[in-house]
Structure 1
Amino acid sequence: MLNSLGLPGRPEDTRVVVAMSGGVDSSVVAGLMKREGYDVIGVTLQLYDHGEAVQKKGACCAGQDIHDARRVAESLDIPHYVLDYESRFREQVIERFADSYINGETPIPCVTCNQTVKFQDLLETAKDLGADVLVTGHYVRTKLEGNRNALYRPVDLDRDQSYFLFATTQEQLDFLRFPLGGMTKPEVRALAEEFGLIVADKHDSQDICFVPQGRYTDVIARLRPHAADPGDIVHVDGRVLGQHEGIIHFTIGQRRGIGVSTGEPLYVVHLDADNRRVIVGPKEFLATHKLLLRNVNWIGAGHFDDLPVEGLKVFAKVRSTRPPTEAILRKEGDDITVELVAGELGVAPGQACVFFDEDTQDARVLGGGWIQRAEKDRKSEDALRNLIGKSWEAAGLPASS
């Protein structure tokens, strides 16, 4: 007979490591595991200098959060460990974040953190502690498909975190459990009250955990001082409209705060990192219909190499706040591409494209990859190519189709 975590044996004979961030979600998970009688160990990661972070509100993993996790563990009467992952986090997440921005990309450090520090390093630590599973407070669900776990969207789609977990491997999925996937946020807070947890009314984290007050440019400028070098703001027709103080201050699709005016609405349509140029143009230059992906992770049924020649119909999500839309996933030689049937606006390299089998609450996550290039229509592509010239090919981007 299987227990509530889908494992053979009694709960008291099943060791569970809970990743405790100090927030209400992971604290409730620890409370649930304790109430069900499991052998629970709480682990909190110190990811950066929490001496600075103590004063920072609205972020996870800060000094106050470590303190809160410790107090929750004490109230639940479970052992609790704080692990120093600062150097690993800096190397795998913060440094990559900075490099991605100065290359003109829009990175998602939360995915990288899950991919490396949490679901790789912490998972191995959990196994070293003799754990049978690692349990987190993410809002996703898993279901057993044959003898392997499959990843699904949660019941509460307002809290859906499946986009941030696309890089989870099959081996990791089989070791992970997500007890909150079948609950809504109000139900979770009600449980926190029932358990008497001090974090029951604590606000959810909003910012990137290592970015004070949301000013990511301050972090990048400190790590990579040359990232704030000035350059030109150039219209897609070739006109130099003004100067900027570093391409790190701009993202694809940005309209406000560009710093130039021509009497028409202008958007950031490309970041030419090699030449420190911000390229702006009308809204139609943001329309994206085809994506070239790198580092694709497949957790759907079957093998990725067995995709049909004509491509696989999927629903693709290119930003965490956007709904999945109809798309065709193809493997073309060594290239993996996604055709967005209706197109999307403002898609940027460095973002993730995540595949689902349908656009419903019960959608299964099939995998995803990092966007290497967002291809526009022929007119937009030709205009950008004329501006960027040789550096376009030097960046390793494919020729226009």
Structure 2
Amino acid sequence: MASDIISTGSSFSTFEKLEKILVGLSGGVDSSVCIQILKDQGFDVSAAVIRFSPAHDAAVEAARKVAAQLNVFCYEIDAAEAFEQAVVQPFCESYCKGETPNPCVVCNPLVKFRLLAEKADELGIRLIATGHYARVEEQDDGSYRVAVPESAARDQSYMLYRLDQDILSRLVLPLGEFEKQDIRDTARELGLASADAPDSQEICFIPEGGYADFIRARGLESPAGHFIGPDGQDLGPHKGIAHYTIGQRKGLNIALGQPVFVKAIQPDGNILLGWAGEEFYRAVTLRDVATPTGKPLEDGEYLAKIRSAASPAPCLAKNQPDGSVALVFPTPVRAPAPGQSAVLYRAGCVEGGGFIDSILP
């Protein structure tokens, strides 16, 4: 299996062999095998591990161990201050407003890829790479897009939708053509320490205690309030809005004779409930819309993912006078959540996306 993977070169035909490349190394299996693939394709590989916070010290040590096994030099990038300001604090503030943020889509352009590119520039290295399951495709006009990988089950293109041309034009994503199990099998054959490392958790800086405890430990309190039933009835207090997400059914401890779900979370602290089965919506509006080229998003038909694990759904996008973008879904989508991103695709390529600001029935 290892020989099958490392002999594949179709993704790298546009790059000169023996060119230097800097790989973002997390210490996990994906970025580890990414390094080996690039080495066997003839690249001069160095690695860099990013220390986002003291909670990442174990990952930094794991990355150094893997780098030693692979015989590549590993630089360390201190991102603690940038990560706190650009990712952690906005995440906490968003949750306290009743939103459901995804910090990865913010971290990637503002911290992870920016600092990796800056380190590469410092070292005189043009190319950068990571172990994300996605691809980069050059378009007819010479611009670049993030594209979906061969493995739909591992698609991470959603997380990369805010990357711009400065990053995409120098980015190599070797794992876009492979299945996760192939990568893990290859790591085992190579005897890498990361071979059986668990998959990374969704939000890397949240400990086992959960969102609410993390936010409280930082001196923030999510607003308290009451559950408001489907018919407008006050159903009593809840534990604080950071404990709940849009679309949630379990853990509400509400008995009304039939299941209910979290329909809306209001900044003043009240949580509006709806009857299960009614959590489907035909339209959302997006704020802070980004496109790969920096140009305004084109009006028209797209496939949209309203969360990272959602299936793409057909929609019609239309720019609004206030700068937002409205998405209308011919078939309603389940539980779009303010704060999450909606990412738009055409022909398997990311064409833009933004943060869900409002939802409409």
TM-score (norm 1): 0.83
* 2:284 is aligned with 1:291: yes
CA shift digits 1:117-162 (9 cap, x unpaired) = 1122222222212111110000001222232322210001111001
Q: Which amino acid aligns with 2:150?
A: V
Identity of aligned residues (%): 34
Instruction: Give the alignment partner of residue 51 of structure 2, picking from 46, 53, 67.
Output: 46
Distance 1:250-1:47 versus aligned 2 partners, 3 A rule: same
* Secondary structure of residue in 2 paired with 1:189: helix
Instruction: Give the alignment partner of residue 273 of structure 2, picking from 269, 280, 298.
Output: 280
Q: CA shift at 1:288, angstroms?
A: 1.2
2: CA distance, partners of 1:144 / 1:351:
28
Instruction: Give the alignment partner of residue 349 of structure 1, picking from 312, 327, 338.
Output: 338
1: CA distance, partners of 2:109 / 2:287:
15
* 2:35 is aligned with 1:35: no
* Secondary structure of residue in 2 paired with 1:226: coil
Unaligned stretches of 5+ in structure 2?
1-8
For 1:396, the equivalent position in structure 2 comes to none
Q: Which amino acid aligns with 2:343?
A: V
For 2:353, the equivalent position in structure 1 comes to 368
Instruction: Give the alignment partner of residue 321 of structure 1, picking from 279, 298, 309.
Output: 309
Instruction: Give the alignment partner of residue 118 of structure 1, picking from 112, 119, 125.
Output: 112
For 1:242, the equivalent position in structure 2 comes to 236
Q: Is the 8 A contact 1:154 1:182 kept in 2?
A: yes
For 1:54, the equivalent position in structure 2 comes to none
For 2:129, the equivalent position in structure 1 comes to 135
Q: CA shift at 1:328, angstroms?
A: 0.3
For 2:31, the equivalent position in structure 1 comes to 26
The 5 Å alignment of 1:2-401 reads 5-7=12-14, 9=16, 11-12=17-18, 14-50=19-55, 62-146=56-140, 147-213=142-208, 215-227=210-222, 229-273=223-267, 275-299=268-292, 303-304=295-296, 307=298, 311-333=299-321, 334-358=323-347, 363-376=348-361
Unaligned stretches of 5+ in structure 1?
51-61, 377-401
TM-score (norm 2): 0.91
CA shift digits 1:20-61 (9 cap, x unpaired) = 0000000011112222332211100111113xxxxxxxxxxx
Q: CA shift at 1:290, angstroms?
A: 0.9
Q: CA shift at 1:106, angstroms?
A: 0.3
Distance 1:245-1:129 versus aligned 2 partners, 3 A rule: same
Q: CA shift at 1:7, angstroms?
A: 5.0
Q: Is the 8 A contact 2:77 2:115 kept in 1?
A: no
**In proportion to residue count, which structure has more helix?**
1
Compute the RMSD of aligned alpha carbons: 2.0
Q: Is the 8 A contact 2:211 2:243 kept in 1?
A: no
Q: Which amino acid aligns with 1:257?
A: G
